[in-house]
Structure 1
Amino acid sequence: MTDWIIRQFVANHENVQENAVRTAYGKVSSCVGILCNLLLFLCKLTVGTLSGSLSITADAVNNLSDASSSIISLLGFKMASKPADDEHPYGHGRYEYLSGLTVALLILVIGVELFRSSIGKILTPLPVDFRWVSAAVLAGSILVKFWMAAFNRKVGRLIDSKTLIATAADSRNDVISTAAVLAASLLSHFTSLELDGWMGLAVAVFILYSGFGLVRDTLDPLLGRAPEPRLVAEIRGKILGYPGVLGTHDLMIHDYGPGRQFGSVHVEMAAEQDVLVSHDVIDNIERDFLRDGLHMIIHFDPIVTQNQAVDDLRSWLSEQVRTIHPALSIHDLRIVPGATHTNVIFDCVVPHNFPMRYSELKAAIGAAVARQYPNHYCVITIDTDYAALPH
């Protein structure tokens, strides 16, 4: 069913990297959500009103909010597809993240309202008029929502959409909540237990727990989440594969929406090599990354490779800082000899959870260098590791 819908309504559906195709996927998914949720809302509202069941009526309202969420998703994909302009040169792709966050917040609102209503039903229970048609509607809703969860999860993963992943999680929540409502109705019918309010409370707690997780996941790219370790490793491996590249560091990735990533990185190459040759290699690296969809700006760091003393000091110092903390690394090392002492100038990269103060770290490195090289003085710049890029 999912594949048929995609083939019928998404032109050129194989090219998911194109913004127009991603937008088409998002629109189709949103329209499916609107139609299915409106149908479920009308059916559940009818049987919930006739039976007097708070949990069924609450489930109906939940479907209505899901339809609203699909409308928000539709608007989000539409606005995210707007081209870049003078005020937004990086495009409008983050609208998609904002729509996903809005869906997650709506899930929280539903959870809070259902929690409040369920507490009231527990304190003042009312009998529920069980009808088999209600059970049939709930069972049908479970099947529809199960398919919607699978549909949105597949499309969300296909186009890497946080909005559709959140929508899939919401549909999964609906499967669980509706199943709980159906179980409560059957138990209340065949026993003397009034579980309508208690089951609604359990569903509300689950929805709130899921909602908080979705808010966290959708906020991450807006707040500037670090790139995935797999992506970092791929970028590093690709750069090191070019001729003449000795090392790389200071990688930064900025996410302006799915398929809209911009990056910068420092690349180390031999200082003795012709600068025009090095520049040509860097141009090729940038061009190849752009072909893969990543706008990369590369800074060239010349490294002295034909001075044995510098090489020995660089190797020794790299190992020395790792004895202080295994995540530490150095780069851009230079030696400036003087009449009375030699300046050792370099950057030291530290992780965000580094336990020492920077002043203490500088003192520890300086003391180690002074013990090994008595007339050497360290000039250290502390770098923050933005991407956990290994050196």
Structure 2
Amino acid sequence: LDDILGKRADGDLVKKIKKLLTEEPQVHGAYDVILNNYGPDKFLGSVHLELPDTMTVEELDELTRRVQARVHKETGVLLTGVGVYSYNTKNDEAAKIRSNVLKLVKAHEWALQLHGFYVNFEEKAIRFDVVMNFEIKPQEGLDILYKEIGEAYPGYDLHINADIDAS
């Protein structure tokens, strides 16, 4: 712990936190880790977890408290905020759409990552975040993705968030 916290909130600490979080069976991914340093050994942080769309609020509450305690015990970081992304578990078609959308996104060198992907079939909506590098302005990247994915999935409302490479 002293090796990680004694210096700074660097990539090693973020990697350790993500590893601890993704060791939980329900956690499909951990994204957007933000750490704030308030002096020696005083880190507060937040994270988004990708979780199955079948989890209840009770299960989410139990998971959140469990991971907050574990992260604090093993890293000294107090997670003050745990946001969630849901992922589809009820429909195999969502996995096919995700795979196709991922191919479209990753065809661009400036697109580093896609996460928080969810298809709402009832509302015909697709939502996700894309992490972009600094080679492209976020709005320019979004315009390209809205056009390409909109052509591939006409009739779907798209909600694409340009995310930063925070961790």
TM-score (norm 1): 0.38
For 2:6, the equivalent position in structure 1 comes to 160
Cα pair 1:314 1:333 within 8 Å, conserved: yes
Identify the residue that residue 296 of structure 1 maps to in structure 2: 79
Superposition pairs for residues 142-157 of structure 1, below 5 Å?
A: none
Residues 20 and 71, structure 2, Cα contact 8 Å, conserved in 1: no
CA RMSD of aligned residues (A): 2.8
Give 1:287 shift.
0.7
Structure 1 or 2: more helix by fraction: 1
User: 1:335 aligned to 101, 108, 119, which one?
Assistant: 119
The offset of 1:337, in angstroms, is 5.2
Query: Identity across aligned pairs (percent)?
Result: 21
Q: Which runs of 5+ in 1 are unaligned?
A: 1-15, 18-156, 162-220, 222-226
Q: Distance in 2 between matches of 1:337 and 1:306?
A: 11
**What is residue 166 of structure 2 aligned with on the other side?**
386
Alpha carbons 2:110, 2:132 under 8 Å: kept: no
CA distance in 2: counterparts of 1:382 and 1:321, whole angstroms: 12
CA distance in 2, matches of 1:371, 1:312: 16
Give the superposition deviation at 1:327: 4.9
Cα pair distance change 1:276/1:337, threshold 3 Å: closer
Are the counterparts in 2 of residues 254 and 262 from structure 1 also a CA contact under 8 Å?
yes
Q: In structure 2, give the amino acid aligned to 1:380.
A: I
Q: Please name the residue that 1:270 is paired with.
A: 52
Shift of residue 288, structure 1, vs aligned partner: 1.1
Structure 1 counterpart of 2:139: 359
Q: Is the 8 A contact 2:50 2:86 kept in 1?
A: yes
Pick one of 253, 256, 259 that aligns with 2:35: 253
Between the two structures, name the one with larger relative contact order (CA 8 Å, sep ≥ 6): 2
Query: Partners in 2 of 1:378 and 1:274 — Cα distance?
Result: 26
Number of aligned residues: 165
Q: Distance in 2 between matches of 1:243 and 1:358?
A: 33
Tell me the amino acid that sits aligned with residue 290 of structure 1: H
CA distance in 1, matches of 2:100, 2:85: 20
SS at match of 1:286: helix
Taking the aligned partners of 2:84 and 2:122, their CA distance within structure 1 comes to 27
Pair 243,336 (structure 1): closer, same or farther in 2 beyond 3 Å: closer
Give the conservation status (yes or no) of the 8 Å contact 2:72–2:78.
Answer: yes
SS of the aligned residue for 2:107 comes to helix
Asked if 1:242 is matched to 2:24, the reply is yes
Match of residue 305 from structure 1: 89
Task: Report SS of the residue matched to 1:264.
Answer: strand
The structure-2 alpha-carbon separation of the partners of 1:294 and 1:274, relative to structure 1 and needing over 3 Å to count, comes to same
TM-score (norm. length: structure 2)? 0.82
Is the 8 Å Cα contact of residues 366 and 377 (structure 1) preserved in structure 2? no
Tell me the residue number matched to 1:316: 100
Conserved 8 A contact 2:111-2:130: no
Give the Cα separation in 2 of the matches to 1:160 and 1:247: 27
Stretches of structure 2 lacking an aligned partner (at least 5 in a row): none
SS, match of residue 143 in structure 2: helix
